[in-house]
Amino acid sequence: MYPQNKNSDLPVAIIGSGFSGLAAAISLKKKGIQNFTIFEQEAGLGGTWFNNRYPGAEVDLESHIYSFSFEPYDWTRNYATQQELLEYLNHVARKWDVNSHIKFNEKVDTVTWSDAEKSYRITTASGAGHGPFCAVISAVGFLNLPLLPPFARGNTPFLGDQCHTSRWPEGLTLNAKRVGILGTGSSAVQVIDEAVRDAASVKIFQIEPNWLLPKGARDFTQAERLQHRFKPVQWWKRFKLYAGYDMRSYGSAHARKEGHSNRSRTKRSLAYLQASLADRPDLLKLSTPAFPFEARRTVISDTYYDNLKSPKVELIPFAVTSLTEKGAVDASGKEHELDLIVYATGFDAANYLGNYKVKGEGGADLHATWNGEPEALLGLMVPGFPNFFMMYGPNTNSVPLVSFYEAQADFATTLISKMKRSGAKTISVKPQMFRRFNAWLQAKLAKTVWGSTTNYFQTRTGKVVSQWPFSASAYIMATKLARRLAVDIQ
């Protein structure tokens, strides 16, 4: 019999109910831990796929790999839409009885460690206090703080509609409107595809073009869906996708100029660009990136280049600098009259956990500790913040994402389970292992293209804080080793 203490009987807190939050909740249940609470700031679960409801929203990873390994699904498309992904997540939550653990409309403001009690207390935006909790798992991701240009913050003179892609208002349509879209990234190209169909006109404001690859998005045939219901077939499809991503990332080959997969994908992207826009040399020039392939998130789309040639569309090679009552003024000084402005301007990605505060041992503030440059052991733990785990934390952005979530959930819940069984009170990462890991990781990242241009992977100093440079299998193995070698349970 292990000795017990009050701490070991306390519940676990999970912040967020998207993919990673559900992964953590289900992993706790699998380990026999039913005493946990999920704090969700929105009215429904789903995280990214609850918030990102803009027209045309869909995933950029194949449906069979962008799903839990333990929960196959009867997908209708090879790249699921936002609506289908949200249906899937709700299906998973119902099956595993996760909903009963969720407090909706409860935005976490502070997470505070007590040195005396060896536990956390949580305060939410309503002012309510919650806890104590023996451990906290943050599952808020890092693409959750919309980034708006300065002229779009607060009150603006523009009299039409305007919104960020991740905050699309209910009932807002593109129908018959003069639409301005700021950005040419993944969300932008999806909105553009819908706007070309429904809007009166579309103006795309481009600061720099992005690298593109064709997507091959399509509906599954009825025969394919019947085959996929046979679990070995679905397992094999998922395995092939996983192995493909693993091989692409082996040795950081996807993120180094000299890497085989980077070179081959660069050739594919250039061929796609030239074949698509050969008849429009003006657009070809404007759409050719000046930075290395993969230095920013590569966009995948079957329609973007064709949409540029639509008579409805105008590609404007300038940023918007200000708004007027009637529309937007670009950097050349030209005013564009618009009815709707869509900010496909991304997120404040380097600001990890930027929507709440975390206090650790001795009252230490996590954001002050990071000082603008987030880092963690495998994105999961930081010294001085015991029993606090991050899902999709610093330097864990890679594909296939859900495989990373499952590994992170297993890391956190295995340690929590061990702490509860042993009667221990704290789980801490060893400072020396933390420092050695991050020094090694930054040395590897320095060899990639990610530091060669400005992107959301970096802090203001240029440090790459979001990317994992190797394969998912390498990461999964590292979490298993770290659990044994880099963590103290006392």
Rounded average pLDDT over 4-23: 89
Q: Tell me whether residue 19 is exposed, middle or buried, using C-beta atoms within 10 angstroms of its C-beta: 0 to 12, 13 to 18, 19 or more.
A: buried
CA 366 and chain centroid, separation: 21
Please, which pLDDT band fits residue 5 given cuts at 50, 70 and 90?
low
Please give the share of the chain, as a percent, with pLDDT higher than 70: 99
Instruction: For 230-252, write each residue's pLDDT tens digit.
Output: 999 999 999 999 999 999 999 99
76-96: burial string, b at 16+ Cβ within 10 Å, e else: eebbbbbebbbebbbebbeeb
Please, which pLDDT band fits residue 8 given cuts at 50, 70 and 90?
confident
Instruction: For 168-211, write each residue's pLDDT tens digit.
Output: 999 999 999 999 999 999 999 999 999 999 999 999 999 999 99
Predicted local distance difference test score (pLDDT) of residue 1: 31
Rounded average pLDDT over 355-375: 98
Cβ atoms within 10 Å of 33's Cβ, excluding its own:
18
pLDDT above 80 (res 6): no
Q: Which domains does the chain have, with CATH numbers?
A: 6-45+98-145+349-489 (3.50.50.60), 150-219+226-343 (3.50.50.60)
Predicted local distance difference test score (pLDDT) of residue 3: 42
Q: CB neighbours of 256 closer than 8 A, spacing ≥ 6?
A: 262, 447, 448, 449
Q: Which two tokens stand for residue 21?
A: 């939050």
| Rounded-to-integer distance, Cα 67 and Cα 88, Å | 8
On whether the CB atoms of residues 345 and 147 are closer than 8 A, the answer is: yes
Instruction: For 268-326, write each residue's pLDDT tens digit.
Output: 999 999 999 999 999 999 999 999 999 999 999 999 999 999 999 999 999 999 999 99
pLDDT above 50 (res 2): no
**Average pLDDT, rounded, for the chain:** 97
CA 63 and chain centroid, separation: 16
Task: State how far the alpha carbon of 391 is from the alpha carbons of 122, 408, 411, 476, in Å.
Answer: 18, 6, 10, 13
Q: Which two tokens stand for residue 133?
A: 């909790």
Decide: pTM greater than 0.75.
yes
Rounded average pLDDT over 113-127: 97
Question: What are phi and psi for residue 315, nearest 5 degrees?
Answer: -95, 120
| Rounded-to-integer distance, Cα 151 and Cα 319, Å | 12
